[in-house]
């Protein structure tokens, strides 16, 4: 259920309502928006319908949330969520998150070279994998904690928030020491133990769509994170499985406006994993912003031929620079901004 409060409800009335909800045996979540304040009430459906919620002082109306994803729905929060990523970078509500960097962290020198290049071009979040889920057990699996230390150091030196993938609930505490944003990869979108674990942290979570996941599947996975206390969820479209082998995956750009009508959470697009082809990434990046995405996620490497992971789909720094110039123009046309990281004390 969603309790809509009267515009003039006092803090004392709100606290009284929360206490009464707890006495009834329900969980609650308070959300103060620009236009209205609502309280999400979570509990057994039959009991919720019978609860005298409308009788509480300060309550204007009570609505049943029909969608299975409660906290992620537009019914729960009408305004777009704006998530602070660190170093003054935000995503959502007109703020674009521009992620760039190599697929895997291969060493400090090469990561620093790539990071300096992408930041100069306008990227505001640095990516790099320390733990890599590879299809083959014989492929490069990442540098582990050493890679995390390198990523944190390079990001800190450039005053850029960093994002890296977490694959297992047992890795969360370790990665939490080094990253600004957790990434949940496509293979782990429905790893519910992992979703619960990152849901208990205060870090933003970049949640990638599974290769065969529906929109509702994606939003339900976001709900797992939010239901465990973490509302800082960023959705990511990275392509779904298709019968066509000319691209790595099928980029479902219609999902962007589709999702935006259903949820207040920001959604970005990863054209690198979606297409797997550098020649298609520029056009799909621009199309993503035009479709209303809150950012893009592009893999960049100074020497793709020598990359230890996903080299064939990486853009060169000069190619990324050209794409960023065009995306700035597209962002301006769409009334959105690409915020630069700001130095912090």
Closest CA to 107 of 281, 303, 292, 261: 303
Greater confidence (270 vs 13) lies with: 270
- Choose the weakest-confidence range: 142-146, 161-165, 175-179: 142-146
- Residue 343's pLDDT is what? 62
- The structure tokens listed for 160 are 């850029």
Query: Is residue 111 classed as helix, strand or coil in its secondary structure?
Result: helix
- Residue 340's pLDDT is what? 84
Locate all alpha helices (DSSP H) within 11-144, ordered by sequence. Answer: 11-23, 45-50, 108-121
Mean pLDDT of 297-313: 84
- Residue 36's pLDDT is what? 79
Q: Where are the beta strands (DSSP E) in 214-264?
A: 233-237
- Residue 122's pLDDT is what? 95
CB neighbour class for 20 (10 Å; exposed up to 12, middle 13-18, buried from 19): middle
- Residue 189's pLDDT is what? 97
Percent of the chain surpassing pLDDT 70: 97
CB neighbour class for 23 (10 Å; exposed up to 12, middle 13-18, buried from 19): exposed
Instruction: Return phi, psi of residue 249, to 5°.
Output: -140, 180
Is the CA virtual torsion 22, 24, 26, 32 positive or negative? Answer: negative
Query: Is residue 127 classed as helix, strand or coil in its secondary structure?
Result: strand
- Residue 134's pLDDT is what? 64
Can you give the pTM of this predicted structure?
A: 0.87
Greater confidence (302 vs 51) lies with: 302
Residue 10 predicted with pLDDT over 90: no
- Residue 51's pLDDT is what? 82
- Residue 135's pLDDT is what? 67
Greater confidence (112 vs 40) lies with: 112
pLDDT digits (tens, 9 = 90+) for 148-159: 999 999 999 999
* Structure confidence at residue 276 as a pLDDT band (50, 70, 90): very high
- Residue 173's pLDDT is what? 96
Residue 345 predicted with pLDDT over 50: no
Residue 55 predicted with pLDDT over 90: no
The residues that bridge with 92 in the sheet, in sequence order, are: 95
Question: pLDDT averaged over the chain?
Answer: 91
Instruction: Return phi, psi of residue 99, to 5°.
Output: -95, 135
Residue labelled with tokens 């674990």: 197
- Residue 259's pLDDT is what? 97
Given the DSSP bridges, would you call strands 59-63 and 181-184 parallel, antiparallel or unpaired? Answer: unpaired
Mean pLDDT of 235-247: 95
Angle, CA of 294, 295 and 300, to the nearest 5°: 170
């Amino acid at each position: 259920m969603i309790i809509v409060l009267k515009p003039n409800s006092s803090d004392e009335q709100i606290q009284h309502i929360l206490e009464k909800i707890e006495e009834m045996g329900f969980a609650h979540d308070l959300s103060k928006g620009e236009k209205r304040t609502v309280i999400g009430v979570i509990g057994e459906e039959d009991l919720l319908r019978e609860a005298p919620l409308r009788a509480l002082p300060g309550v204007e109306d009570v609505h049943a949330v029909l969608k299975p994803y409660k906290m992620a729905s537009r019914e729960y929060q009408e305004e777009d969520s704006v998530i602070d990523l660190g170093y003054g970078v935000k995503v959502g509500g007109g703020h674009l998150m521009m992620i760039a960097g190599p697929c895997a962290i291969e060493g400090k020198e090469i990561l620093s070279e790539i990071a300096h290049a992408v930041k100069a071009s306008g990227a505001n979040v640095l990516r790099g994998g320390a733990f890599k889920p590879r299809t083959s057990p014989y492929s490069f699996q990442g540098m582990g904690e050493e890679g995390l230390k390198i990523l944190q150091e390079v990001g800190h030196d450039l005053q850029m928030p960093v994002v890296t993938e977490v694959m297992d609930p047992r890795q969360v505490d370790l990665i939490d020491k080094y990253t600004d944003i957790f990434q949940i990869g496509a293979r782990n979108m429905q790893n519910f133990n992992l979703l619960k674990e990152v849901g208990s942290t205060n870090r933003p979570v970049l949640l990638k769509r599974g290769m065969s996941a529906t929109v509702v599947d994606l939003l339900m996975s976001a709900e797992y994170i939010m239901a465990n206390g973490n509302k800082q969820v960023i959705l990511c479209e990275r392509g779904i499985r298709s019968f066509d082998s000319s691209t790595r995956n099928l980029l479902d750009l219609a999902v962007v406006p589709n999702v935006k009508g259903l949820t207040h959470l920001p959604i970005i697009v990863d054209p690198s994993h979606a297409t797997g082809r550098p020649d298609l990434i520029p056009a799909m990046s621009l199309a993503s912003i035009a479709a209303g995405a809150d950012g893009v996620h592009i893999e960049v490497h100074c020497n793709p031929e020598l990359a230890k992971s996903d080299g064939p789909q990486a853009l060169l720094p000069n190619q990324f620079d050209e794409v960023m110039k065009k995306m700035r123009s597209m962002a301006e046309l769409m009334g959105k901004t690409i915020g630069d990281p700001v130095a912090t004390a």
